[in-house]
Amino acid sequence: MYLLVFAGYESVGDYNVLIRKDTGRFTAGDSNVFIGYSAGYNTAFASVSNTLLIQNEDSAIPLI
């Protein structure tokens, strides 16, 4: 499920929930929940799976 513009853009993983602009942009992992502007946009999260990620910037260090 992708909500808002560019959520999941270039994403190839399955069963991901991406909420806000630019979330999970390069995600190849599965079963993730990314919440917040640019959450998971950083390539450090490109291959994670089974992850809850809450952040509001393009950073390798999430809020949660």
pLDDT in tens, 34-58: 888 888 888 888 889 999 999 888 7
Q: Is the distance from CB of 30 to CB of 49 less than 8 angstroms? A: yes
Q: What is the arithmetic mean of pLDDT over 26-38?
A: 85
Closest CA to 35 of 19, 22, 50, 49: 19
Determine the distance from the C-alpha atom of residue 18 to the mean position of all C-alpha atoms in its chain, rounded to a whole number: 6
pLDDT (0 to 100) of residue 39: 85
Question: CA–CA separation, 2 vs 39, rounded Å?
Answer: 13
pLDDT greater than 70 at residue 21: yes
pLDDT category at 8 given cuts 50, 70, 90 is low
Q: What is the pTM of this model?
A: 0.77
